[in-house]
Amino acid sequence: MSELNLILLGPPGAGKGTQAERIKVDFKLVHISTGDMLRAQVAQSTELGSKAKEYMDRGELVPDGVIIGMITERIAEPDASDGFMLDGFPRTETQADALREALDASGREISAVVLVEVPDEEVVRRLAGRRVCVKNSAHIYHVEFDPPKREGVCDQDGARLVQRDDDHEDTVRRRLEVYHAQTAPLIDYYDDLDLLLRFDGLRPVEELHKRIRATLASVRMQQRL
């Protein structure tokens, strides 16, 4: 098997999104963000999207089976033949078991699990310090790492900068509690399967990217032997 099929793991604020964009380009992988995929399927009124919408309209969580169905359909498309990268799924051991069964049925398997590790206090520091422009949410600053020229004012359009609700410190800490309770057990799960690759998320972005790229290149080469 020469395809490279990855799962990204790590706490919120670890920098997974930044690394995912680079890995996608490095290895020409389909990046599957389950949140984005779910919204797209609902918007397109696909069969699975319609099922998901029924649950969402009732304020219920979309069942794992529906999400797995969407993932299975997506990775069967031609552009995913060289590999894919899952971001945001699985989040629990039950979901990991379901994903493994679905991939087995399609004759595919996970090549590696990329874990970006960052201590809780650093996550709080990163997320609680973010400020977003009320006019353009793509304009993002940080009170410590990337402050605006004028406090509370966007450099690009002069609009007010605000802290998003999910970036408040108490909310970030609750998100971390959920991560440790539900998702962190996947670290041992995939370590036991000899798939886990650990990376220090405190390293500079470029250095972290180079380490991940080199390690994944080695994984792909081993699969081709």
- DSSP label at 87? E
Q: In the numeric block, which tokens belong to residue 162? A: 């605000």
Catalytic residue among 28, 164, 174, 210: 164
How big is the CA angle at 123 (ends 144 and 36), to the nearest 5 degrees? 105
Q: Is 150 a catalytic residue?
A: no
Q: Is 211 a catalytic residue?
A: no
SS3 call for 59? coil
Catalytic residue among 125, 126, 130, 131: 130
Rounded Cα distance, 218 and 196, in Å: 14
Q: Is 210 a catalytic residue?
A: no
Catalytic residue among 16, 108, 125, 131: 16
Catalytic residue among 39, 91, 203, 211: 91
Catalytic residue among 125, 126, 131, 175: 175
- Residues 6 or more apart whose Cβ sits within 8 Å of residue 186: 9, 90, 91, 92, 93, 96, 113
Q: Is 135 a catalytic residue?
A: no
Matching residue, tokens 């004028």: 150
Q: In the numeric block, which tokens belong to residue 126? A: 């990163």
**Known catalytic residues?**
16, 91, 130, 164, 175
